Amino acid sequence: MDFLTPTHRISAQMTLRGRVLADVLNDVRTSFLPLEAVFLSRLEEPARILKSFGAAILSKNHITMAIVNVGVELAVKAISPTYGTRKVYGVFVTIPGFEIEGTMEFHGRPDLHALLVTNVERFLPILNAQAVMTGRPESRFSGELIFINRDFIGLFSLSGEVAQG
C-alpha cells in the first residue's frame, strides 16, 4: 500500500493483526503506524526510490491519503445490511496538491455535514479513486480504495448518484 504525505510517497507493508485498515487508521488511541518493507520517494518523483527501510513508523497526522490496490477486503469492514437504501455517489475532493475523484457509498440520502463535521472517522474511504497532482497533472495515483485524511480536505462535493449494475 502507499501512504502520501504533503511531501513524500511511502510504499510499505503493514501487519493488521486481525483488524481492517480502516479501523487501524481511525483508531484514536494510536497516533503512529508501524510499517515494514518501507520505500520512500518524493512526490515530485514518485517512481524514484530515495531510501528503503526494513521498518519505520509513520505519523497518522501527516498522512494525506492511503492508497489500497490489493487486499481491499482487508481495508474495510464488510457492509452489513441496514435499513434504508445504500447508494453510490460520485465524489470530487481537493486536498493540498491533489484533486481526487471516485465514488462513495451512503446509506439513504447523503449528508455532507454529518460526513465531514460530526462523523468520528478521520480517514474517509473513496472507492475506485484517482488522485491527480495539481502541479503535475500527468502524475496520477489510483487505487481500488483511497482513504482521505479529513483534516486535509479543502473541498468535498458530490457529482450525483452513480448507476450500479
Q: How far apart are the C-alpha atoms of 91 and 103, rounded to whole Å? A: 5
Residue 17 has pLDDT above 60, yes or no: yes
pLDDT value for 84? 60
pLDDT > 70 fraction of the chain, expressed in percent and rounded? 89
pLDDT value for 75? 61
Q: In the predicted model, what is the mean pLDDT of residues 134-145? A: 93
Residue 147 Cα distances to 13, 50, 53, 150, angstroms: 16, 24, 24, 9
User: What is the tens place of the pLDDT at every residue in 44-90?
Assistant: 999 999 999 999 999 999 999 999 986 655 566 655 555 567 789 99
Domains and CATH numbers, the chain: 2-74 (no CATH), 86-161 (2.30.30.100)
CA proximity to 123, closest of 10, 26, 4, 17: 26
pLDDT value for 31? 96
> Model confidence at 115, in pLDDT bands (50, 70, 90)?
confident
pLDDT > 90 fraction of the chain, expressed in percent and rounded? 68
User: What is the tens place of the pLDDT at every residue in 20-50?
Assistant: 889 999 999 999 999 999 999 999 999 999 9
Higher-confidence position of 78 and 98 = 98
Q: How far apart are the C-alpha atoms of 130 and 125, rounded to whole Å? A: 12
Residue 163 has pLDDT above 70, yes or no: no
pLDDT value for 73? 59
Higher-confidence position of 107 and 63 = 63
Dihedral of CA 5/10/11/15: which sign? negative
Coil/strand/helix, residue 154: coil
Residue 107 has pLDDT above 90, yes or no: no
pLDDT value for 132? 97
